[in-house]
Amino acid sequence: MEATAEDRAPGGSVVAAQGLNLTFHTNDGSVHALKDVNLAVERGEFVSFIGPSGCGKTTFLRCVAGLETPTGGSLSVNGLDPDAARRARAYGYVFQAAGLYPWRTIGGNIRLPLEIMGFSEDEKKRRVRETLALVDLDGFENKFPWQLSGGMQQRASIARALSFDADLLLMDEPFGALDEIVRDRLNEELLSLWARTGKTMLFVTHSIPEAVYLSTKIVVMSPRPGRISDVIDSPLPKERPLDIRDSRGFIDIAHRVREGLRAGMEEA
Ligand SMILES: Nc1ncnc2c1ncn2[C@@H]1O[C@H](COP(=O)(O)OP(=O)(O)OP(=O)(O)O)[C@@H](O)[C@H]1O
């Protein structure tokens, strides 16, 4: 029988990793992608993962999503093992490329997971309308992806991940391919969406300002094998206008992230 929302431990961590290890075995040898990762993510947190290319950020997200199987340690998602959490539709996943089907309209793309999950026609309509409003894309339901800018496509992809109302959102560099101005705006919108919905966010980025601006917790990772080198609980207020990036508090955290990244590189 599939686990349901009622089966989940209400008070526990949304994500709990203890001594997590993952080694990939390939024809060229083995790659130790994650080493002794310990992390607890509480409900409603916004957690960013930052680190050099290849340090295991995507691999960690894929473990949470039940798409990779750790080779050691333990991992739970909403109190369930990741595979059970995946079957209970515990999370929405947003990738670097928006990944919208070009032959489906924006509404059709958002409807897809709802069709797979067997929602009623009325419910599908309601959810498409509501999630489009959440990402500020009202009126674009019948457009095709190519009729939207890159930033709008990425918002549609976020709407798709939100449509079935999972309380955990996994986002793998969703704004990495966008220019800085669009990215700034989407960062502001994402923060406001997070404040309105109370979702738990796991967010992978290469950008220090993006990580500091968005997060309540920043996980700094170092390469070969991927480890957590620092976890920073942000003292910044929840309300964050973009110009907070010029404040002393912001600059101090950015400095600590940079130092963490540098130390990790030197150890590697
Ligand atoms: N399926 C796989 N088989 C073998 N090795 C893999 C596999 N997936 C990832 N790796 C290796 O694991 C390591 C971590 O990869 P991962 O994609 O998690 O890094 P990342 O931090 O997300 O990198 P980037 O910032 O470039 O996206 C890398 O060395 C990568 O080559």
Which of 181, 234, 194 has the alpha carbon at shortest distance from 212? 234
- Answer whether residue 72 is part of any domain: yes
Q: What angle do CA 83, 53, 13 make, to 5 degrees?
A: 35
CA-based nearest residue to 73, from 33, 26, 38: 38
Closest ligand 1 atom number to CA of residue 61: 18
Residue 238 pLDDT greater than 90, yes or no: no
Q: At 125, is the pLDDT very low, low, confident or very high (cuts 50, 70, 90)? A: very high
For residue 34, being part of any structural domain is answered with: yes
Whether residue 129 is contained in a domain is answered as yes
Distance 35 CA to ligand 1 centre (A): 13
Q: Are residues 39 and 69 in the same domain?
A: yes
Contact residues for 54 (Cβ-Cβ < 8 A; gap 6+):
223, 224, 226
| β-pair type (227-233, 217-222) | antiparallel
Enclosing H/E stretch for 231: strand 227-233
Mean pLDDT of 183-201: 89
What pLDDT score was predicted for residue 268?
Answer: 63
Residue 192 lies in a domain: no
- The neighbour count for residue 134, using CB atoms within 10 Å, is 19
Domain membership of residue 255 (yes or no) is yes
The CA 169 to ligand 1 mean position distance, Å, reads: 20
Mean pLDDT calculated for residue range 67-93: 93
Reference 264, options 96, 56, 28; nearest CA is 56
Same domain, 10 and 61: yes
User: What is the model's pLDDT at position 134?
Assistant: 84
User: Can you tell me the mean pLDDT for 145-151?
Assistant: 92
Q: Are residues 263 and 228 in the same domain?
A: yes
Identify whether residues 205 and 223 lie together within a single domain.
yes
Residues 98 and 144 in one domain: yes
Are 24 and 101 within one domain? no
> Which range (70-84, 95-109, 174-188, 229-243) has the least confidence?
174-188
- Report the separation in Å between the CA atom of 190 and the middle of ligand 1, taken as the mean of its atom positions: 26
List the CATH number of the domain containing 25: 3.40.50.300
SS3 174: coil
Question: Which phi and psi (to 5°) does residue 174 adopt?
Answer: -65, -25
Residue type, 263: A
Last residue of a domain, one of 148, 165, 182: 165
| 263 shares a domain with 240 | yes
Domain membership flag for residue 180? no
- CB of 205 sitting under 6 A from ligand 1: no
Nearest-CA residue for ligand 1 atom 24 is 53
Residue 24 Cβ < 6 Å to ligand 1 = yes
Does residue 161 share a domain with residue 127? yes
Q: Whose CA is nearest to atom 8 of ligand 1?
A: 59
The verdict on the CB of residue 27 being under 6 Å from ligand 1 is no
Q: What is the pLDDT of residue 17?
A: 96
**Ligand 1 neighbour 222 (Cβ under 6 A):** no
Beta-sheet pairing, 200-205 with 168-172:
parallel
Taking Cα atoms as reference points, which of 227, 234, 268 lies closest to residue 253? Answer: 234
Q: Is 56 in the pocket of ligand 1 (CB under 6 A)?
A: yes
Range of the domain at 159: 94-165
User: Cα(41)–Cα(190) distance, rounded to whole angstroms?
Assistant: 19
d(CA 234, CA 240): 12
User: Do 84 and 210 lie in a common domain?
Assistant: yes
* Ligand 1 touching residue 265 (CB < 6 A): no
To test ligand 1's pocket by mutation, which of 58, 203, 204, 229 has the most ligand atoms within 8 angstroms of CB?
58
- pLDDT for position 2: 44
- For residues 125 and 155, state if they share a domain: yes
Q: Is the pLDDT of residue 187 over 50?
A: yes
CB 14 within 8 A of CB 183: no
Q: What is the distance of C-alpha 218 from the center of its chain?
A: 13
CB-ligand 1 contact for 264 (6 Å cutoff): no
Structural domain ending residue among the three candidates 113, 143, 165: 165
Stretch among 94-98, 135-139, 140-144 having the lowest mean pLDDT: 94-98
- When comparing pLDDT for 57 and 197, which is higher? 57
CB-based contact 253:213 (threshold 8 Å): no
- 184: in domain: no
The protein residue with its alpha carbon nearest to ligand 1, atom 30, reads 54
The verdict on 20 and 86 lying in the same domain is yes
pLDDT in tens, 4-53: 444 444 458 999 999 999 999 988 889 899 999 999 999 999 999 999 99
Residue whose Cα lies nearest atom 9 of ligand 1: it is: 59
Residue bearing the CA closest to ligand 1, atom 20: 54
Same structural domain, 132 and 153: yes
Phi, psi of 64 (to 5 degrees): -60, -35
Structural domain includes residue 31? yes
Domain count, the chain: 2
The Å distance, Cα 54 to ligand 1 centre, comes to 5
Arithmetic mean of pLDDT over the chain? 90
